[in-house]
Chains A and B, each alone.
Chain A
Amino acid sequence: MLLHVVNRSPATSRVYQQALAGMSPEDRLLLIEDGVQGALPQLVRYYAGLEGRLFALKEDLESRGLLGRCAASVQVVDVDGFVDLTEEAERTVSWY
Chain B
Amino acid sequence: MQEHHDDSDLLVILRHAPHGSSWLREGLDAALVAAAFGRRVSLLFMGEGVTALLPGQQAGALGQKGTAATLEMLEMYDIETLLVEEQGLSCLGLSSDELMLEVECLSPSALSRVLSGHRLVLTF
Contact = CB atoms under 8 A, between A and B. Distances in A.
Contacts of A21: 46, 85, 87, 108, 111-112
B123 A2 contact: no
A64 interface: no
A46 B108 CA distance: 17
B18 interface: no
B22 to A, nearest CB: 15
B5 to A, nearest CB: 14
A42 interface: no
Interface stretch (B29-37, B70-78, B94-102, B114-122): B114-122
A69 interface: no
Nearest to B86: A21
Given A21-B111, A22-B115, A93 B121 contact: yes
- Which one of A22, A23, A24, A95 has the highest number of Cβ atoms from chain B below 10 Å of its Cβ? A22
Contacts of B87: 21
B112 A18 contact: no
A96 B111 CA distance: 18
Contacts of B108: 21
B112 A23 contact: yes
A27 B117 CA distance: 13
Interface in A37-96: 90-91, 93-96
